[in-house]
Amino acid sequence: MATGSNVPPADAAAEALVDARDASDEADVDDAADVSDVLDAPDTAVPEDCATPWDDNGDGRANEGCPCAAGAVQMCFERAASSFEGMCRMGSQRCGSDGTWATCEGSWLPDAMGRCQITERFSDTQVTRRPVDVVWFVDTSRSMDAETAAVNANINRFAASMAASGLDYRVVMIATRGAGARQVCVPPPLGGAGCSDGARFRHVPQTVGSRNGLSVLLATYPQWQGFLREGTARVLVAVTDDDSTVTADAFDAQLRALGGWNGYVFNSIVGYESIADCPTLSRRGSVYLTLTARTMGQRARVCDADWSGTFTSFARTLASRVTAWTLSRQPRLDTLQVWLTEPGSPERRLLTGWSYDARTGRLTLDPTAIPVMGSTVRVVYRTGP
């Protein structure tokens, strides 16, 4: 049988099979090229979903290009829905005259690290209260009859407030000792019977004149140094109606040179008004007020008729100062939250009983809110405007 080919029939069939395979391989190559083209092509942007308030396509805008009725207002958030948590807040956007949504405004977005708020946990170091040593010196000169009596009447208020706060405290009193006029006698429970010392109290019987209080404090230091403890918070309290002959700079330098006095606090019950406002005042206590301002202490008017609130306030503030935490960043005050966990109790938010000082970055708890030993504190806040 003749055919149009010079190849025998069997060989022709084999050749046809080879040609078919070649054609199939070429087709596979073309298909692979098509797939490669698809994979190499840039991703098509996810469209913005006009039915949500989020930034659906990741371009940092919300509902851009979406149609709307001019003047309409809606909530918006220029991040993905998954980023909306904690203290992040929705903003708002208004529909413009062109029938599309304007820029979202007023939202609180995550920071550069993707956080809607900062959480500082003070659980690694359990809440502790630094022991406190308080040194009082009282001017017992002739003009201080009423003031000396006020110290005798109120010193136990001071001690009771600190005890109620759970503080480990000691008190030193530098003044003439006795139960007579212009003498200081500290009764129990702080002092002992008959104007004697107590477990937490040492009296240094020394006359303090109108203007030598700071000098007497430094000169008598060897007599009460041994009653102080290492590592305590140290507070000085001056009670006088006069000023000091020692300058604030000189006293500060001499005190620090004794060792252990860095970070001390100076409180003053002195005159800081004119003699017209306080007829019994000898001089304005300028040196004492300078020391108080430098150490962020407290001051009170020596001419006040009732000192009960002063002594209680001094004690409460002192308790707060030694129960404090310094935040690592400046918080937005309207977002600051304080949470407390006490042993065996669930975490609870403190709505009152704490304060924040922007100058020092310190968060302190009021004595009524100071937690029991072993408690932990969690502080949550946002930064920035």
Which domain CATH number covers 166? Answer: 3.40.50.410
Residue 323 has pLDDT above 80, yes or no: no
Pairing verdict, β 169-175 and 132-138: parallel
How many Å apart are CA 326 and CA 279, to the nearest integer? Answer: 43
CB 242 within 8 A of CB 214: no
321 by DSSP, 3-state: which?
helix
- Residue 326, Cα to own-chain centre: how many angstroms? 5
What is residue 52's three-state secondary structure? coil
> Are residues 230 and 335 both part of a single domain?
no
State the Cα–Cα distance between residues 136 and 149, nearest whole angstrom: 15
Among 293, 321, 349, give the residue marking a domain's end. 321
Lowest mean per-residue pLDDT among 188-197, 212-221, 256-265, 355-364 = 355-364
Residue of 134, 195, 101 whose CA lies nearest to 322: 134
Residue 337 shares a structural domain with residue 350: yes
324 pLDDT exceeds 50? yes
> Is the same domain home to 311 and 357?
no
* Res 181 pLDDT > 80: yes
**Any domain includes 63:** no
- Whether residue 69 lies inside any domain: the answer is no
- Render pLDDT for 124-164 as a digit per residue (tens, 0 to 9): 444 556 789 999 999 999 888 888 888 988 898 888 888 87
pLDDT of 172 over the 90 cut: yes
Query: What's the order of all strands across the beta sheet hosting 354-357?
Result: 324-326, 362-365, 354-357
Decide if 362 is inside a domain: yes
Same domain, residue pair 298 and 377: no
Domain match, 279 and 154 both: yes
Pick from 5-19, 127-141, 194-208, 237-251: least confident: 5-19
What's the mean pLDDT in 218-237? 95
| Residue 331 within any structural domain of the chain | yes
Report the range of poorest mean pLDDT among 175-179, 308-312, 350-354: 308-312
Structural domain that includes position 339: 119-126+324-381
Q: Which of 281, 273, 277 is nearest to 241 (CA)?
A: 281
Report the pLDDT averaged over residues 342-356.
89
Domain annotation covers residue 359: yes
For residues 347 and 244, state if they share a domain.
no
pLDDT in tens, 73-126: 999 999 999 999 999 999 999 999 999 999 999 999 998 888 999 998 875 444
Enclosing H/E stretch for 326 = strand 324-326
Same domain, 341 and 277: no
Tokens of 331: 């918080």
Tell me what the pLDDT averaged over the chain comes to: 83
With a pLDDT cut of 70, the percent of the chain lying above it is 83
Are residues 355 and 287 part of one domain? Answer: no
pLDDT of residue 45: 59
- For the ranges 59-68, 248-257, 295-304, 362-371, which has the lowest average pLDDT? 362-371
> What whole-number distance in Å separates Cα of residue 141 and Cα of residue 212?
11
Alpha-carbon distances of 85 from 109, 115, 331, rounded to whole Å: 10, 9, 18
| Mean pLDDT for the stretch of residues 327-349 | 91
Q: Do the Cβ atoms of 347 and 380 come closer than 8 Å?
A: no
Pick the most confident of 48-52, 110-114, 374-378: 48-52
| Whether the predicted pLDDT of 40 surpasses 80 | no
On the question of pLDDT at 24 being above 50, the answer is no
pLDDT attached to residue 39: 34
Any idea which residue has 């809606």 for tokens? 74
Alpha-carbon torsion angle 103, 107, 108, 110, nearest 10: -40
Which among 151, 142, 141, 146 is positioned nearest to 173, based on CA atoms?
151
β pairing state of 201-205 and 299-301 = unpaired
Look at the pTM and tell me if it is higher than 0.85.
no
Of 273, 301, 321, the residue at which a domain comes to its end is: 321
The confidence score (pLDDT) of residue 322 equals 76
Whether residue 204 contacts residue 234, with contact meaning beta carbons closer than 8 Å, is answered with no
- Taking phi first (over 0 means left), then psi (-120 to 50 degrees means alpha), and beta for anything else, what does residue 290 get? alpha
Encoded amino acid at 98, one letter: D
| pLDDT recorded at residue 33 | 38
In the structure, what pLDDT confidence band is assigned to residue 293 with cuts at 50, 70 and 90? very high
Claim to verify: residue 317 and residue 173 sit in the same structural domain: yes
Q: Is the pLDDT of residue 26 over 80?
A: no
Q: What is the DSSP letter of 108?
A: B
Q: Assign 9 a pLDDT band (cuts: 50, 70, 90).
A: very low
Average pLDDT over residues 292-299: 91
Quick check: 321 pLDDT over 80? Answer: no
What ranges in the chain are assigned the alpha helix state H? 9-40, 145-164, 213-219, 221-224, 248-257, 286-294, 308-321
Three-state DSSP at 221 gives: helix
Predicted local confidence at residue 146, as pLDDT: 84
Cβ-contact 228, 202 below 8 angstroms: no
296 and 266 in a single domain? The answer is yes
pLDDT band at 16 (very low <50, low <70, confident <90, very high): very low
Total domains present in the chain: 2
Cβ atoms 137, 216 nearer than 8 A: yes
Does 188 score more than 70 pLDDT?
Answer: yes
Quick one: 146 and 239 in the same domain? Answer: yes
Q: What is the mean pLDDT of residues 273-283?
A: 75
Residue 66 confidence (pLDDT) above 60: yes
- Whether residue 377 sits in one domain with residue 267: no
297, 321, 345 — which closes off a domain?
321
Decide: 61 and 78 in contact? Cβ < 8 Å: yes
How far is 357 from 193, CA to CA, in rounded Å?
Answer: 42
99 in a structural domain: no
Report pLDDT for 349: 94
- 98 in a structural domain: no
> Cα torsion at 347, 349, 355, 357 (round to 10°)?
80
Residue entry with tokens 């008017």: 301
